[in-house]
Structure 1
Amino acid sequence: MGLSEGGKVAEVLAGPSLIGIFLNVGLLGVMITQVNQYYNAFPKDPLWMKLYVATLLISDCVNSAFNIAWVYNTLVNQFGNLDALAGADWLFSSEQSMAGITSMMVQCFYAWRIQVLTKQWWLVVIVVLSSLVSGLCAIGTAIGVSIVKDFSKFQSLDVIALPWLISCTLCDVLIALALSLYLRKHRTGFAHTDTVVNKIIRSTVQNGMLTASFTIAHIVSYLASPTGIHMIFNYGVVKLYTNSVMSSLNSRREWVNSLSQHSSSRKDDGANMSNFVSTNRSMRPQVTINVETHEMVDIGTSKTDPEWPDMVSSDSGKSMHGAQEKYAV
């Protein structure tokens, strides 16, 4: 049985959008789980970090609510209305603007991490500028969608939509490369500690490449197909950004536990952790051990740490003999 006239119109954009919204809502569930895990595991994190996480969660919930409202109104309330199927409203355009705002919040957060680790302001400026270009172009795309309205004429928005997607992809790749190269360069030379560093590098690359791959797929499908296939990636990438941040935050517990267990066993290729700290101090004075960013773990502080007080392990503190040298992760 062939599609009706309304079905053919809906197949072009409403169908792919519905699939993308399913993905969007599914990832919202993952986000809620990760946020709950974060607040339970890190009650002593700085207040600004907790507020940042809460802002991301609220943004995700509002985004999903607008998306569900749009698809319900289009496919249910406006059932049989071809004009509603072929045109956009403010609920539809809110997806583009919120995608840009969310990506800016996440990318600027990673820019802060780069500044804490590398102290390279020129690199931070490049990341922030590319993020701002991406976010502002996304908001501009949303405004353009509200003006054009007709889905068949959306190709006229290429002049602002493509800079949005390209700059967003470049920003993600730059963040992943900057962090992974820095961590790789500052390995300690001790097997167990380097294993933890390698895990952080893999996590950084995976998070950056996952969001970048979705934006690349968005670009390719947007240019290659006149249909709305690209909307699947557009709806999904918003939640991937927030989930990547929460994944990084929650991974701190695993990393600090790994380092603490090793410290208590006092074994690392024949050297205990206290020897590692004292040796590291003399051989590699440029390496520090701490989590100054959202992924940082303090393995060598005293029992109180004003920034990450809940990340201190008493066993590791004893074995480190109060050493204060830090490794920024």
Structure 2
Amino acid sequence: MAVSNPGINLILGPVILGILINTFVFGIVFMQAITYYTSPRYKQDRLIIKGLVGWSLLLDVFHSSAVVWVIWEYCINHFGDTAFLGTTPWPYPTTPIFSSSASVPIQIFLAWRVKRLSNSWHIFSVLTALSVASGIMAWISAIRAVQASNIKAFAALIPVVDAWLALSVLCDLSLTLLLFLYLRRSRTGFAKTDNIITRLTVQSIETASLSTFNSVMDLICFTALQNTNFHFVFALMAGRMYTNTLLATLNSRERFSEEMGGINTLTSAPIRNGVAVHVSVERQETGTELKNYSKGNSPESSQSGDLKGRTYYV
């Protein structure tokens, strides 16, 4: 943010760099979208999942197009107009709206995955509350930014913007940590199954940590580099990072389901100390279901009360 009069390289430079990086990330999202819409799982997904993907892509297309228009305004329509650098074209102050409109539903989607893993409505409620709170602060930030006359007035927005980004970071970190913990607890004792769960854990952390890192850098740059627009490098692509997380999660389901052995696969470990362990793997609309059974010879034994089991949705 410009509180004095920094050079054009600190005002326009980060904006152009952010738009270029955002366009690159949008290309990755576009390829992920093609993979999703051409996969067999797309037809099996519930309408709410398809709607979430469509909504996220719609936001990405609109916002990415809008920020490209910003380059046209700065570099073509107002070329050489240094006074225009202090103005705020509408895609600039409304960026928090586009980012939160993508992040909140996707964070809730990931929170639901954690709920399926943990069977805890309390955890889901806390994660959802954090996400919704960050979305509310994002809208407040955008409304106040739109009301600002120029970017010099943005310095007064630091507390509310920091609150929005801090809540978003806290939600992302919580999601990443909880996914890691509960996926690690899903280990079954079977080498093949545990290897796939380990890979699934790594994949979940990698995709979720990207959006977390991006939010952290946005928070740091906005707070520490107030005389520049370097936070724009991370702010512009925030929505795309969340969409990429969503699509990467959805696109991984088919591969992991096939590697787990398909539908209704039952495997058994040797009996040790009088305990036999069975693992049943089924495909679900939102992930892969792992069922761990113990103290019985088959899933049917659960009808007699001999079977204790846990179900994990990954």
Question: For 2:17, which of 11, 19, 27 is the aligned residue?
Answer: 19
- Per the TM alignment, residue 115 of structure 1 is displaced from its structure 2 partner at its CA by 2.0
Residue number in structure 2 paired with 1:237: 238
Paired with 1:322 and 1:200, the residues of 2 have a C-alpha distance of 29
Q: Distance in 2 between matches of 1:234 and 1:255?
A: 32
> 1:304 matched to which residue of 2?
none
- When residues 92 and 322 of structure 1 are mapped into structure 2, their CA distance, relative to the original with a 3 A threshold, is farther
- Count of aligned positions: 292
- Does structure 2 retain, via aligned residues, the 8 Å contact 1:256–1:298? no
Task: Measure the CA separation in 2 of the matches of 1:188 and 1:222.
Answer: 44
User: Cα distance, 1:166 vs. partner?
Assistant: 0.6
1:315 aligns to what?
none
SS at match of 2:92: helix
What is aligned with 1:178? 178
Against the structure 1 CA distance between its residues 196 and 149, is the aligned structure 2 distance closer, same or farther, given a 3 Å change threshold? farther
Deviation at 1:12, TM superposition (A): 2.6
Q: Give structure 1 stretches of 5+ with no counterpart.
A: 1-6, 265-272, 301-319
Matched, 1:50 2:50: yes
Specify the alignment match of 2:286 in structure 1: 294
* Match of residue 213 from structure 1: 213
Q: 1:322 offset after TM fit, Å? A: 11
Contact 1:141/1:160 (<8 A) preserved? yes
| Aligned with residue 37 of structure 1, among 35, 47, 66 | 35
Aligned to 2:260: 259
Contact 1:180–1:201 (CA<8 Å) still a contact in 2? yes
- By how many angstroms is 1:116 displaced? 2.2
Gapped runs of 5+ residues in structure 2?
293-297, 303-308
CA distance in 1, matches of 2:301, 2:191: 20
Partners of 1:80 and 1:112 in 2: CA distance: 50
Contact 2:44-2:285 at 8 Å conserved across structures: no
- Structure 1 residues 165 and 62: CA distance shift in structure 2, 3 A: same
Query: Percent identity among equivalent residues?
Result: 24
Contact 1:248 1:294 in 2 (8 A): no
Distance 1:179 1:289, change over 3 A: farther
- TM-score between both structures, scaled by the size of structure 2: 0.83
CA-to-partner distance for each residue in 1:156-178, whole Å, 9 max, x for gaps? 10121001111101100101111
Q: How do 1:85-234 and structure 2 match up within 5 A?
A: 85-225=85-225, 226-234=227-235
Per-residue deviation, residues 180-205 of structure 1 (Å, max 9, x unmatched)? 11111121011100011111111121
Q: 1:271-315 CA distances to partner (integer Å, 9 max, x unpaired)?
A: xx5325999xx6568x86445463326899xxxxxxxxxxxxxxx
Name the amino acid aligned to 1:71: I
Matched residue SS, 1:90 = coil
The question of whether the paired residues in 1 share the 8 Å contact of 2:141 and 2:161 is answered with yes
Deviations 1:83-117 (A, max 9, x none): 32111032222222101111112101111222222
Structure 1 vs Structure 2 CA RMSD = 3.0
**Higher-helix-fraction structure:** 1
Query: Aligned partners of 1:131 and 1:177: how far apart in 2?
Result: 15
How far apart are the structure 2 equivalents of 1:321 and 1:40? 35
Q: Which position in structure 2 is the counterpart of 1:328?
A: 313
Indicate the structure with greater strand content.
2
After superposition, the Cα gap between the structure-2 partners of 1:22 and 1:109, relative to the gap in structure 1 and judged at 3 Å, is same
